[in-house]
Structure 1
Amino acid sequence: MSRVRTVLGDADPSTLGAVDYHEHLFQVSPLLPGDELDDEARSGEEAAALHAAGIATMVEATPTGLGRRPEAVARISAATGLAVVQVTGAHHGGHYAADDPLLSWTVAELADRFGAEVTDGFRDRAGRPLVGPTGEPIRAGVVKAGIRYWAIGPFERRVLAAAARTHRRTGCPIMVHLDFGSAAHEVLDLLAADGVPASAVALAHIDRNLDPGLHVSLIERGAQLGYDGMARHREAPDSAIIDCLWKVAEQTEAVGILLGGDVARATRYRSYGGLPGLDYLPRRFLPRLRSELSPASYSAIVGGNAARWLTFA
């Protein structure tokens, strides 16, 4: 059976509706002091607002060791009706303290952890299984890796290799954080050498490099492209993202384009006292995008492409 693995169990891909492929309900990182997402009630308010604005499914993209809370995510999903896919995997090394044991793990150790979280479910530090509101195991549905700006260090390479091994063992899709959209082809090359087809890979933050020609070349390889830089006007206005996305969609029939907000900061969540809020994507960005695209392209970008990517191979 085709399946997408959510925190409340496996779902039929056809039921996902509008998908936000990249958000965070919980996150704590030494790179983001003062921006901790660590309050279940407040994060639940943001999730409810996202769902009320029209998003039916989101990917919670916080990986190992960064304040991830799968039990709280499952409670929020059950309470709000928002389907949530939780990632396993690891970020690039800059998000971890220098003495974090994770940085020294081997590919085999990383892959065993990631794979177990996909097949058996998450566990707490004492090794006890984490379960959802009705007692079911909470399992990961995406494995994440990350690289720095034009840099793939030894730890990042091990995580990519472990993500590839996890995909081969489980069929789980992969998300890769690209600093400023860099090294996209290089990441696909490494994963391909490890047996991963580009169609299984979502390249996050590709719109931090607004280059339509590059984006088309990545889609031609079969990759999924994550546009998630909206509401970051210091880097690029939403109009520039829409213009780039439209040019790419025109050349590719909108295949392989994913949308997310990656709001990811307490200072940018209304429930934590910030702006613009987790619902900026459906509330502000999507109405503008809809006016620029054909109905078929809009439907693919808002839901269909993500459903295919999230489906286990």
Structure 2
Amino acid sequence: MRVRTVLGDVDPAELGVCDAHDHLFLRTPRLPGQELDDPARAAAHLRTFADLGGRTIAHWTPYGLGRRERDLADLSAATGVHIIAATGLHQAVHYDPGVLARIRPGLAALFHRELTDGPAGMIKVAGGFHRLDEHARHTMTAAAEASGATGAPIGVHLEDGTAALDVLDLLCGSLGVPPDRVILSHLDRSPDPWIHRRAAEAGAYLCFEGPSRAHHATDWHLFDSLAALTEAGHTDRVLMGGDTTTPDAPGIPHLLRVLRPRVEAQLGRDAATAIFETNPARAFAIQR
């Protein structure tokens, strides 16, 4: 097995401490005036992350949203931090309709090409609020095809943490994606322990992020959710990321400066090692 980074394939054991969901660059009409588009700022965050012991970041910015592939390679080389880039598509609302019409017929081929010839080591797709619309189903179908051909993991944006089981029914049920190829994100935004357990029992990875103004009211539930999964024996399914989406967010270093010490204090060192090191090495490995 291997993990595909922007500088080439590495052994999963080399990932070290991982931020499993973040953004160095992001540009979307949904966040006007709040673009992440500054390489110097990204480099500063990566250096601080590395100083705190971080070794790898999964960069979930997909196709067409300003991921700046060439800058990612330069940043990784300059800072020594591994970067896993994403192909895939976000919700339709993040794109010009003309762009979607142009790429829609060959979506699976686009994902496959970026996973084999381009910079990507994962696929990012997105559901809607408590439902999967036609765009989500089409995009996930293309993602399943590309993942099946390459062994790459599929990261799923869950809108406000909802529709997790619908995603698993589609990807793992109808489309035959192995559950351990699926990473469900934003589950902290819908802290439903029954849903979390069902998703973990199915074999998917559960990624928790924070903090963010968009879901600040549920931040205090984060460690309740982590503790519940740990007590249920599902620590091996948990990942954590910072999910920096705007310039005024706490930034990538917050994950290791604030959240990891609290994980270790409340759940123990073994749980922290699993969540930040052991689990990401499995979740992001290309199983081919």
TM-score w.r.t. structure 1 length?
Answer: 0.88
- Does the alignment pair 1:294 with 2:268? yes
Separation (CA, whole Å) in 1 of partners of 2:101 and 2:138? 10
Counterparts of 1:106-145 in structure 2 under 5 Å?
106=104, 109-121=106-118, 139-145=119-125
Give RMSD over aligned pairs. 1.5
Mapped contact 1:26–1:68 kept (Cα < 8 A) = yes
Where 2:142 maps in the other structure, the secondary structure is helix
- Provide the C-alpha distance between the structure 2 equivalents of 1:234 and 1:140, rounded to a whole number of angstroms: 29
**Structure 2 contact 132–166 (Cα < 8 Å) conserved:** no
- Does residue 279 of the first structure (1) align with residue 278 of the second (2)? no
2:32 aligned partner = 33
Q: What is the Cα deviation at residue 294 of structure 1?
A: 2.8
Question: What's the TM-score once normalised by structure 2's chain length?
Answer: 0.95
Residues 231, 280 of structure 1: 8 Å contact kept = no
Matched-pair contact (CA < 8 Å) for 1:103–1:155: no
Cα deviation per residue 1:190-236 (whole Å; 9 max; x = unaligned)? 11211201111000111111112211111000010010133548533
1:147 aligns with 2:112: no
Kept in 2: contact 1:18–1:57 (CA 8 A): yes
Structural mapping, 1:164-313, within 5 Å: 164-192=144-172, 193-232=174-213, 235-236=216-217, 238-268=219-249, 276-313=250-287
Does the 8 Å CA contact 2:263/2:271 hold for their aligned counterparts? no
Structure 1: 5+ residue runs without aligned partners? 122-138, 269-275
Any idea what SS the aligned residue of 1:20 has? strand
Pairs within 5 Å for 1:43-82: 43-82=42-81
- Pairing 1:100–2:74 present: no
Do the aligned partners of 2:17 and 2:56 also contact (CA within 8 Å) in 1?
yes
Counterpart residue type for residue 206 of structure 2: L
Q: Distance in 2 between matches of 1:40 and 1:58?
A: 15
In 2, Cα distance between the equivalents of 1:20 and 1:251? 24
Q: Which whole-Å CA distance do the structure 1 matches of 2:206 and 2:101 have between them?
A: 27
Work out the number of aligned pairs and report it: 286
Secondary structure of the structure 1 residue equivalent to 2:266: coil
Residue 124 of structure 1: aligned partner: none
Separation (CA, whole Å) in 2 of partners of 1:12 and 1:41: 28
Q: Deviations over 1:159-190 (max 9, x none)?
A: 10010000111001100100011110111111
Q: Is the 8 A contact 1:77 1:84 kept in 2?
A: yes
Q: Deviations over 1:51-86 (max 9, x none)?
A: 222211010110011111111011001101111000
Shift of 1:42: 1.6
Inter-partner Cα distance in structure 2 for 1:182 and 1:46: 30
Contact 1:143 1:175 in 2 (8 A): yes
Looking at structure 1, the residues matched to 101 and 275 of structure 2 have their Cα atoms a distance apart, in angstroms, of 35
Structure 1 CA distance for aligned equivalents of residues 184 and 15 of structure 2 = 20
Instruction: Determine the C-alpha separation between the residues in 1 that align with 2:239 and 2:92.
Output: 25
Between structures 1 and 2, the one with greater helix share: 2
SS in 1 for 2:25: coil
Q: Please tell me whether the aligned partners of residues 27 and 68 of structure 1 are also in contact (alpha carbons under 8 angstroms).
A: yes
Identity, % of aligned pairs? Answer: 40
The one-letter amino acid of 2:182's match is V
Distance, in Å, in 2 between the alignment partners of 1:87 and 1:172 is 10
Counterpart secondary structure, 2:47: helix
CA contact (8 A) 1:24 1:262 kept: yes
* Aligned mates of 1:120, 1:231 — CA distance in 2: 34
Secondary structure of the corresponding residue to residue 42 of structure 1: helix
- Flag the 1:202–1:36 CA change in 2: closer, same or farther, 3 A: same
What is the letter of the counterpart of residue 167 of structure 1? Answer: S
Which whole-Å CA distance do the structure 2 matches of 1:178 and 1:103 have between them? 24
Task: Work out whether residues 165 and 199 of structure 2, in 8 Å CA contact, stay in contact via their aligned partners in 1.
Answer: yes
Change (3 A) 1:103 1:46: farther
